[in-house]
Structure 1
């Protein structure tokens, strides 16, 4: 309706034109609201999307001490979201069985390659992990997994010490907070035939190590 028409229009026509304008505005608002709802629904579907499948990784089935040679009862598989899977995570049991932990692991903790000391240090290859306690517990502060040592008995008054094992790899060192009055346990990798002798000697004699 032009300005001239509005001046000459009757009151009835003016009211009808006003209602038509209001209906147009209302229709426009409703259309905009519907469009916004459809856009919000599309964004919600795009953001969430279908749930992503978890990644199976190997975790500790129970609390495990350092120096533990892992067996089937020590590990289990669990699915984790891909963003929570750490680098180097082990995916199946064969990758962990027979390997020796360099530090304690809590139940449910994902096991990674950094938890172990290089190649298998137990079962297989005739090598086992043997625990020893050192005559001077503070020597353990200078040891770390992978370090090579010679294991010797401390010299007695009547005779010198003797070498029990040479060039032996340190597998794990008991954490400081877990030590007892006897000192921290040190786990070393030894041939099966020698492991028993060294472990027994560490109980009956004072044992120490020399660093390589």
Structure 2
């Protein structure tokens, strides 16, 4: 499992991908601070704590809107590519199937954690504060996106289809998730407990609920993968 995690982690850092991701985070943080006065003039209510951490909160906002698109776009074929190219047979002869799933998840998740921590550290240099709660919320949100991505990659054998699906879900997911949080329709609102936005609606430790959901999603992915012929 550790070898798989290490491989996925290193592969994720090849090229300019991490530089682009960190740059996007920092640009978002910069302009959120620059236009914070504009947000206040628009009568958007912010607490003093939120105003103080608006740079890092903006990164969470970016992940809420585009996070699924980013994560699925980069990792949509993390499992089905291996199955399509038959390289998965090499892995299953050397380790358990659950170790493959968990190893891939941890390797890619650590990549995102490094990108987020780096961004938050750079921001903290200028604002003189490290926003730990928002960092935990952001990393747990990425974990949910990634677990769902791995599940879909196990379910759908064709990488080309998951690439198309990543675009569709990347656009539809934040809209649907926001609807479940704010709607009063009882037939829909119960689904907010299965989706991540409800758990990061406030600055608290509810993000732990997201990690529990991640565990459930990975458990389902492992159960399906164990039944699949490679």
Q: Determine if the TM-score, normalized by the shorter chain, exceeds 0.5.
A: no
- Of structures 1 and 2, the one scoring higher in RCO (CA 8 A, sep 6+) is 2
Max Rg structure: 1
Q: Which has the higher helix share?
A: 2
Please, what TM-score do these two structures have when normalized by structure 2? 0.23
Q: Which has the higher strand share?
A: 1
Please, what TM-score do these two structures have when normalized by structure 1? 0.25
